[in-house]
Amino acid sequence: MHAARLTDSLCYHGEGPIWSASWGEGGALRFVDMLAGSFLELDPASGGITRTEVPSPVVACVRPRRGGGAVLALEKGFGLQEPDGTITALPALWDEPVRMNEGAVAPDGTFWCGSMAYDRTEGAASMWRLGTDGTAIRAWGDVTISNGLAMSPDHAHGYYVDTPTGRVDVLDWDETAGFVGRRTFRDLGDEDGHPDGLTVDAEGRVWVAMNGAGRALCLESDGTVAERVEVDARQVTACTFGGEGLTTLYLTTSRENLPEGEDPAAGSLFAVAPGVSGIAEELVFGG
């Protein structure tokens, strides 16, 4: 199947799309222009786009928050958006040349986000957890480019990408310990591109963006490739389900490090209707 281009090249480094019923009038899609320090919101009815600046040179991830607003991953820590739109940056968690990169809300309402070094030093990054009380802890280290994280429909498992491994991993979710038991779900070394952001549909299949390949893959429960979504931009970064009935798969793309004029659709938002829907239960940050 082939994704349609929805927008002009709006982003330098589009990433982290997520749909929430709490945004807009009856639901909206948000995604980040990560290295521009802003996030965008798509009104699905009009197709209009609004851009919101944040108090940070980087906004890596935006996810819905209980009571309205959002939780944010900023360059060196977290931030909170109030229902009135006010954004507050929480204290920085480190001083090193490392930035947040991608994350997700867990079933207990905590927000997890991983990082990466600006120079992509192997093992220099970490996974962080923001508790509902506002306390941030380092959950694990030895990460290089922390990317997609998403839960299974029954919340028993999380799927996770550290891009240079070339794999999608699976972890068990434990209400006390958090994510545990990390192991390989699917090694994608035999596919073009590199695994980046991902999402999970209502049937438990994993959809993963393959950066550099101009496509996303749908993986069955045994890891086999069930579908390929072709995208007219090479650097596909992430995907999520949204729209009416959560039946649209939205895909973000990037023009980071591309020469001027190369890959003219890079940085655009794309969409396709793959014949399945996203998970109906929305996970929101509880703080």
Catalytic residue annotation: 196
Query: What is the C-alpha separation between 64 and 104, in angstroms, rounded?
Result: 10
Query: CA dihedral in degrees (94, 134, 285, 220; nearest 10)?
Result: 40
Rounded Cα distance between 43 and 50, Å, is 8
- Contact indicator for 242, 24 with CB cutoff of 8 Å: no
Task: Write the single-letter amino acid at 273.
Answer: A
CA nearest to 150, candidates 186, 198, 215, 185: 198
Distances (CA, A) of 115 to 47, 73, 201: 32, 10, 25
Return the structure tokens found at 226.
Answer: 């069930």
Helix (H, G, I), strand (E, B) or coil at 55: coil
